[in-house]
Every structure is written in structure tokens, then in C-alpha cells.
């Protein structure tokens, strides 16, 4: 909890620094194509989850010297990725949903090609992401039965269980969950709250205020925790397109 408080305070300080420097405020929103890569080391195996996402937030251009800016920001993003397999008449599907609060700190260089009409800029820098919530939905479909299990990725706790052919009471669901949870705990499949990504891209400026941004980011940290992370890596990359208005 103390770490999370420090994280939020850091975001507030960056915002204050931008305002103090008479920074140009920009409102941004866009869509993303997140892609998670999971690698198992022994025995060797790997698979990927792909999906969609969206983000919105603000950033501040802090002028350094001609053309150069430092641009901190504060964003909320939503991503959903999935992976499915079929074998021996049984289909399985994993869907991970994440709600993230991100702080990019970009170094940006702008080219004012036609003053007040058209320009472009290049940017790159780290993005610190704090996962506010992360859930994994596992579905098993086979032999005429559908089973859905919902797991909190940060704690590893099973939050809900649904069996299509049965109308289970809350007490019956909890009994099944209590029997399955110890097995999940032994595997230790949990994910970190904090992720660090390296972000880069290009932006286009129209009529001084409007922006179109194309970017790409890749994760540096393994998102898995504990013993499970000793034999597995989970990293996220994504491409995105965004639109903004700079005041």
C-alpha cells in the first residue's frame, strides 16, 4: 500500500511540474492492439494472447530548448486479450482483462514544418503502469458442458464459478471453489501490480492544436510473481493509435 501511495504522489508531482512550467496541456484518447507473450522455460513452450484496448488521459509539454520537450502524462487504459486451444474434443479459452493507470515520461522533439498548420514530432521514453484490477476468465467447453472460472490475477483467488448445466447456489459454488483453490495456490500463478514499458512513436500536428499519434510499446518486466515466475515469463507489447487536442 505504501508503494502505491508513492506511485500516486509521483504522478501528482509530475502534473504539478507541468503546470508550474506553463506546459501545454493535451487531452488524448485512442485504441490499442495489446499482445501478451507467455514463455515456459522447462519444458520449453510458448503461446500468445491478442486482443483490443482503449485509453484516455492527459499529458503536458514542458519546453526545454527549441524543438525539445519533456512530456509527462497520466492515462487510464483498458485491455482485453485471449488465447484458445482445442484438443480431444475439449476447447479451452483464457481471457485476461486489465484496468491500468499509466504514467508516460516522454522525451519529444517537434518539427514545425508549416507554422500553425502542420508539424510532426518523435517521442520515446518509459511508461510506468499500475494495474488497478486484473482478471482472468477461463472457459472449458467439452462433452456438452461449459464451465467458466474467474480469477483475480493479483491474489490468485477464484472470484466466481459458473457451470452452464447446473443452477448452483452461492454456498454450492463456494464449496467447489474451496476444493479447487488450494491447487491454484500451489501453482502460485499471480501477477505483479507494476509494469514498466518502453514507448516510442510519431505524432502529427494539424492547425496547431489537433494531433494524430501512432505508437508502439513493449514490456520490460515479467508480470508473473513468485515461484511460477521462475519458470515462466509474461510480457506485454502493443501498438496504438490516438487522437488529441492540445490547448
* Tens digits of residue pLDDT in 127-158: 999 999 999 999 988 877 888 999 999 999 99
Q: How far apart are CA 47 and CA 117, in angstroms?
A: 46
Distance CA 35, CA 162 (A): 27
Q: What share of the chain is helix, strand, coil (3-state, %, to 5)?
A: 15, 65, 20
Beta pairing, strands 90-114 & 118-142: antiparallel
- Residue positions counted in the chain: 247
Q: What's the mean per-residue pLDDT of the chain?
A: 88
Alpha carbons 34 and 25: distance in angstroms, whole number: 26
Residues 228, 187: contact at Cβ < 8 Å? yes
**pLDDT for 43:** 83
Q: Which of 57, 212, 26, 27 has the alpha carbon at shortest distance from 119?
A: 212
Task: Please give the pLDDT value at position 102.
Answer: 96
User: Can you give the pLDDT at residue 2?
Assistant: 55
Q: Taking the model in full, what pTM does it have?
A: 0.83
Total Cβ atoms within 10 A of residue 99: 14
- pLDDT tier for residue 208 given thresholds of 50, 70 and 90: confident
Distances (CA, A) of 182 to 68, 81, 94, 187, 189: 54, 26, 20, 9, 12
Is pLDDT above 70 for 107? yes
Confidence of residue 82 (pLDDT cuts 50, 70, 90): very high
Between CA 49 and CA 39 the distance in angstroms is 12
Q: Percent of the chain having pLDDT more than 70? A: 90
The per-type count for the chain, helices as H runs and strands as E runs, is: 3, 10
pLDDT of residue 135: 96
Residue 38 pairs in a beta bridge with 47, 234
Confidence of residue 189 (pLDDT cuts 50, 70, 90): confident
Of 145, 129, 35, nearest to 82 by C-alpha is 35
pLDDT of residue 9: 58
Amino acid at each position: 500500500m505504501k508503494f502505491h501511495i508513492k506511485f500516486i504522489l509521483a504522478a501528482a508531482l509530475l502534473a504539478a511540474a507541468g503546470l508550474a512550467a506553463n506546459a501545454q496541456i493535451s487531452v488524448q484518447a485512442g485504441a490499442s492492439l495489446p499482445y501478451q507473450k507467455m514463455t515456459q522455460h522447462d519444458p520449453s513452450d510458448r503461446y500468445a494472447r491478442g486482443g483490443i484496448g482503449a485509453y484516455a488521459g492527459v499529458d503536458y509539454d514542458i519546453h526545454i530548448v527549441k524543438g525539445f520537450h519533456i512530456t509527462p502524462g497520466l492515462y487510464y487504459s483498458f485491455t482485453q486479450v485471449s488465447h484458445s486451444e482445442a484438443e480431444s474434443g475439449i476447447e479451452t479459452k483464457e481471457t485476461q482483462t486489465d484496468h491500468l493507470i499509466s504514467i508516460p515520461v516522454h522525451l519529444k522533439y517537434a518539427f514545425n514544418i508549416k507554422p500553425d498548420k502542420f508539424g510532426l514530432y518523435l517521442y520515446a521514453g518509459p511508461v510506468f503502469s499500475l494495474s488497478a484490477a486484473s482478471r482472468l476468465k477461463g472457459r472449458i467447453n467439452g462433452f456438452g458442458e461449459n464451465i467458466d472460472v474467474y480469477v483475480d490475477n493479483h491474489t490468485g483467488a477464484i472470484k466466481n464459478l459458473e457451470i452452464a448445466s447446473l443452477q448452483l447456489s452461492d454456498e454450492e459454488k463456494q464449496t467447489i471453489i474451496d476444493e479447487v483453490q488450494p491447487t491454484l495456490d500451489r501453482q502460485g500463478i499471480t501477477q505483479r501490480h507494476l509494469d514498466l514499458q518502453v514507448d516510442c512513436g510519431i505524432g502529427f500536428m494539424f492547425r496547431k492544436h489537433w494531433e494524430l499519434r501512432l505508437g508502439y510499446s513493449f514490456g520490460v518486466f515479467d508480470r508473473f510473481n513468485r515461484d511460477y515466475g521462475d519458470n515462466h515469463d509474461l510480457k506485454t507489447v502493443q501498438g496504438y493509435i490516438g487522437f488529441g487536442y492540445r490547448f
